[in-house]
Amino acid sequence: MSLVSVRDVHKYFGDLHVLKGIDLDVKAGEVVSIIGRSGSGKSTLLRCMNGLESYDQGAIILDGMEVSTDEFQVRKLSQSVGMVFQSFNLFPHLTVGENIMLAPTLIKKTNKAEAKKLAQEVLEKVGLGDKFGQYPEKLSGGQQQRVAIARSLAMKPKVLLCDEITSALDPELVGDVLKVLEQLAAEGMTLILVTHEMNFARDVGDRVVFMHQGKVHETGDAKTVLADPQTPELRQFIGAVL
Amino acid sequence: MGYELNFGALLEYQDVLLSGLWMTVKLTVVSTLLGIMLGILGAAARRHRNPFLRHGSKAYVELIRNTPFIVQLFFIFFGLPAIGIKMTEVEAGILALVINLGAYLTEIIRAGIDNTPKGQIEAARTLGLSSRQIFIRIILPPAFQRVYSSVVSQCIIVMLGSAVVSQISVQELTFAANFIQSRNFLSFESYLVAALLYLLLAFLMRLIFNLIGSRAFSREEKQS
Amino acid sequence: MSQFTDWDILRNLLLAARWTILLSLLAFAGGSIVGLLLTFMRISRRKPLIWITRIYIEIFQGTPLLMQLFIAFFGLGLLGIDVSAWTAAALALTLFSSAFLSDIWRGCVESLPKGQWEASRCLGLNYLQTMRYVILPQALRIAIPPTVGFSVQIVKGTALASIIGFVELTKAGTMLNNATFEPFKVFAMVALIYFLLCYPLSRASQYLEEKLNVAGKRA
């Protein structure tokens, strides 16, 4: 039984057909990397999975729930799926600790002391235990992104969606963030990432999904697909990225 | 010039002046607090799902910003009782000030809200916050901070505008100056002193708002 | 009791509105002239001139317009100049407008990138030439929307001239109210006329601002 199941999903932006019948299944504990050129629809697909973006046809089932953009449904989904963004999106007026405690206290009604303990725990996990009282603007990009991951983890999601989370970082800060992901993968967290980090996709990922012109063009075991691409498009893409 | 200014003669009226000043301070504090609340509600209405609220808020802002405060005041104080809504001079004065300030602040705060990065709202939705929680917790605080200095300026403008409520006999600073000059005929001196007191109030208001702002919007590390 | 028909009320208000318009135009013209002078003083790079304009602006932005009207009305009298309410109102509104306009215009001049000054200097232009050919033409463009916007404040400001006895729209309103005892109707009409005067100016200001922003982005 798959945790995320995408069935024949179509999506239009006006006249533009951005997703042309996507099928995808992700099992619990899998690490799936979605790769492809910009404009291939990979970020849109990811954003459809937690209701940030609507789709026009097909179905997405996540943890047994039908995904839609309805506010009530999105809130229910947030218990099962977390998301980390390219631009971190930490709340600038809240400290690191408050950023993390916000959703558990508001949505899960966790009491303050417990939420604090939880926040401290997830911060330790991303290696930023000493930043609890700090405001986001005082942190480096890499640190901010790790806080964003911690903030998602505090909701104890079953799946974590990562939308190009290292793309906005200076090269020397990418490693710290990927290390956190690697650790999460090792602990059995289900990860679906849109990424340009081919080494990470190969070494840590279980499966690669190559998207091209709104379709899944090629998919399979990460190491096999990346080492021996079957389609000229993927071959060309890998050649351009590496 | 053949005239000597006589400020000494004002001394015997210092109680009148002080009680007028005190009334101006009270009017300002109350209308600032209520006006900020109204401005936040107005800005929230501007992005509400309900089109009546959206358009109502816009119409309110345009109506108030394009008519003089004194006409608004007269309409409230003289016009509303004619249709059965009665109130005291002070109540009418405060109501007019709050409605006036609220309209300007609606527009100012809305501008701050419009500059909210889309990602902030998406992140909050992803974490499961409701629309109301997102507005109150995620959108409003940074937006208010972004436009804080405009909010402060507008509150000061309304404090200065409160001089006009003397025209419906609210016994504030301008009323006191009117009263004194009607007794001792030292109009110029009376109004000059009142003007200086307004200048002082404007200065103090900015000082106090800045203090509040620097405390409220501090981004220094918090001890947990 | 009321021998005034609605039409009579409206007609009298409209007649009085002419004075509101005239006073507004006068204050705007006077305010622009004095304001321009202040703006040049403010951007002159001469410390004493800068300080004078700063204090001037602080005073007129930090005190109620009503006080300024009173002081102009009674203060000029003290100087032996016999002033009508009309003169006092025109004077006070001129000074009031000049403070705000010069503050707006200084902001426009200062909002231009420093590179404009540096580039002009490299081309060998002196201060006045730089002003005349580089800075002012650009500043003028961005100054138009907020200037039109401020004209709304002037129109509304003229309403306070009613308090020193000048018969314009608001004063006519209070007089008609005393004659008809229909405050709701009279003041609603007064407000409507002000709205009809001010709203087009507000919209024009917004429109010009948007147009400028679009042009700015394209550039």
Domain span including residue B217: 9-223
CA distance A49 to A46: 5
In a domain, C86, yes or no: yes
Write out pLDDT tens, residues C161-192.
Answer: 999 999 999 999 999 999 999 999 999 999 99
Which chain B residues contact residue A90 at CB under 8 A? Answer: 123
For A238, residues 6+ apart whose C-beta sits below 8 A from its C-beta are A198, A226, A229
CB contact under 8 A, A74 and B123: no
Q: Using pLDDT thresholds of 50, 70 and 90, give the confidence band for residue B1.
A: very low
Q: Using pLDDT thresholds of 50, 70 and 90, give the confidence band for residue A242.
A: low
- Of residues C178 and B5, more confidence is placed in C178
**Burial of C191 by CB count in 10 Å (0-12 exposed, 13-18 middle, 19+ buried)?**
buried
DSSP assignments along A147-216, one per residue: HHHHHHHTT--SEEEEESTTTTS-HHHHHHHHHHHHHHHHTT-EEEEE---HHHHHHT-SEEEEEETTEE
Assigned token pair, A98 = 């408050």
Q: What is the pLDDT of residue C2?
A: 53
Write out pLDDT tens, residues C6-47.
Answer: 899 999 999 999 999 999 999 999 999 999 999 999 988 889
Q: What is the pLDDT of residue A127?
A: 95
Residues of A with CB under 8 A from a CB of B: 50-52, 71, 74-79, 81-83, 85, 87, 89-93, 95, 97, 102-103, 106-107, 116, 132-135, 137-138, 148, 151-152, 155
Q: If you count residue pairs, one on B and one on C, with CB atoms under 8 Å apart, how many are there?
A: 127
Give me the CATH number covering residue B214. 1.10.3720.10
C160, C171 Cβ separation under 8 angstroms: no
- Examine the pLDDT at C1 and tell me if it is beyond 50: no
Query: What's chain B's average pLDDT?
Result: 94
Give me the CATH number covering residue C199. 1.10.3720.10
Write out pLDDT tens, residues B64-103.
Answer: 999 999 999 999 999 999 899 999 999 999 999 999 999 9
Does an interface of 3+ CB pairs under 8 Å exist between C and A?
no
CA distance A143 to A140: 5
Domain span including residue C32: 6-212
Does B117 touch chain A if contact means CB atoms closer than 8 Å?
A: yes
In a domain, B4, yes or no: no
List of chains touching A (3+ CB pairs within 8 A):
B
What is the predicted ipTM?
0.92
Q: If you count residue pairs, one on A and one on B, with CB atoms under 8 Å apart, how many are there?
A: 83
The pTM of this model reads 0.90
DSSP state of A133: T
CB contact under 8 A, A116 and B124: no
Does B224 touch chain A if contact means CB atoms closer than 8 Å?
A: yes
- Our CA-based measurement puts residue A195 at a distance from the nearest CA of chain B, in whole angstroms, of 18
In a domain, C217, yes or no: no
In a domain, C1, yes or no: no
CA atoms within 13 A on the CB side of B64: 23
Which chain B residues contact residue A107 at CB under 8 A? Answer: 127-129
Q: Using pLDDT thresholds of 50, 70 and 90, give the confidence band for residue B2.
A: low
As for how many domains chain C has, the answer is 1
Write out pLDDT tens, residues A218-229.
Answer: 999 999 999 999
Assigned token pair, B41 = 């509600």
- Examine the pLDDT at A193 and tell me if it is beyond 50: yes
- Mean pLDDT over A130-151 rounds to 96
Which chain A residues contact residue B216 at CB under 8 A? Answer: none
As for how many domains chain B has, the answer is 1
The full set of domains in chain A, from first to last, is 91-156 (1.20.1580.10)
In a domain, B126, yes or no: yes
Length of chain B: 224
Taking only residues 128 to 157 of chain B, the set having a beta carbon closer than 8 angstroms to any beta carbon of chain C reads 156
CB contact under 8 A, A93 and B145: yes
Q: What is the pLDDT of residue B224?
A: 57
Which residue's structure tokens are 């991303």? A126
* Nearest CA among C77, C127, C70, C122 for reference residue C96: C70
Q: Using pLDDT thresholds of 50, 70 and 90, give the confidence band for residue C216.
A: low
The CA radius of gyration of chain B, in Å to the nearest whole number, is 21
Does B160 touch chain C if contact means CB atoms closer than 8 Å?
A: yes
Write out pLDDT tens, residues A92-124.
Answer: 999 999 999 999 999 999 999 999 999 999 999
CA distance B223 to A95: 10
Write out pLDDT tens, residues A58-103.
Answer: 999 999 999 998 888 888 898 899 999 999 999 999 999 999 999 9
CB contact under 8 A, A155 and B117: no
Write out pLDDT tens, residues C89-139.
Answer: 999 999 999 999 999 999 999 998 888 888 988 888 888 888 888 888 999
Integer CA distances (angstroms), B105 to B33, B48, C154, in order: 12, 17, 20
